[in-house]
Amino acid sequence: MTIRTVVNGRPVTEPIPVRWTLAEFVRDRLGLTGTKLSCGMQVCGVCTVLVDGRPVSACSYLAVDVDGCEVTTIEGLADAGSLHPIQAAFVDHFALQCGFCTPGFIMMAKSLLDENPRPTRKDVVDYLDGNICRCTGYQPIIDAIVDASERMTP
């Protein structure tokens, strides 16, 4: 089936197998490998991308369901080489170690801040309930997101 979508601002029309997940489409067809895969069951969040601004688990979402929608992956955040404020805050707060979970956390943070530009620490913790990090102990991630919110909405 042929799907028409806009990925990171670029119109894409591609014939794809109906059974493909969104992760297979962005990683294997479009080469956007910033979107990671781990649990494959909506639990860990490393595969998070935005579809019309809503967060979805690309591991468990049909690619055909983005037909007619806009998709944003981690590659779509930096603007002409300069980091998005959330990315910059992650660097400044050492909010990553191995970095495998980072694209997912950043996409979730983007979705949270779009919805709620000045979240409390508790709002951040609640929103990230479905994201797992095995390295950082989470505190630097929360610090980075709270800081990013302050940078973006002074």
Partner 1 sequence: MSVLPPFELHRPTSIEEVVELISWDDLPYVGGTELLLAMRAGLLNPRSLIDLKGVAEITGVRAHNGAVRIGAAVTHQQAATTEVISEKLPELPPVLLHVGNPRVRWSGTLAGNLCFAEPKSDVIPFLIALDATVTLVSADGSREMSVREFIIGPYFTARTEHELLAWIDIPVVPGRRGTYLKYQVMERPTVGVAAVRLDEGDSTITRVVVGAAGEVPVVHDVDHAHPDRSAVATAVVDALEPIDDLTGSSDYKRHVTAVYVERALEKLERM
Residues found near partner 1 in the complex (CB under 8 A): 1, 17-21, 24, 40-43, 45, 48, 54-57, 59-62, 64-65, 108, 111-112, 127, 129-131
* Chain residues 4-63 in contact with ligand FAD, contact rule CB under 6 A: 42-43
Q: Nearest approach, Cβ of 73 to partner 1 (angstroms)?
A: 14
CB of 93 to partner 1, least distance (A): 22
Which residues contribute to the site for ligand FES (CB under 6 A)? 37-40, 42-47, 57, 59, 96-101, 133-136
Q: Which does 122 bind (CB under 5 to 8 A by kind): ligand FES, partner 1, ligand FAD, none?
A: none
Burial class from Cβ neighbours inside 10 Å (0-12, 13-18, 19+) for residue 9 reads exposed
Output the DSSP codes for 18-47.
TT-BHHIIIIIIT--TTS--SSSSSSS-TT
Q: Are 6 and 70 in contact (CB under 8 A)?
A: yes
Residue 42 or residue 97: which is nearer to ligand FAD going by CB? Answer: 42
Determine the Cα–Cα distance for residues 117 and 154; give it in Å rounded to an integer: 10
Which positions lie near ligand FAD, rule CB under 6 A?
42-43
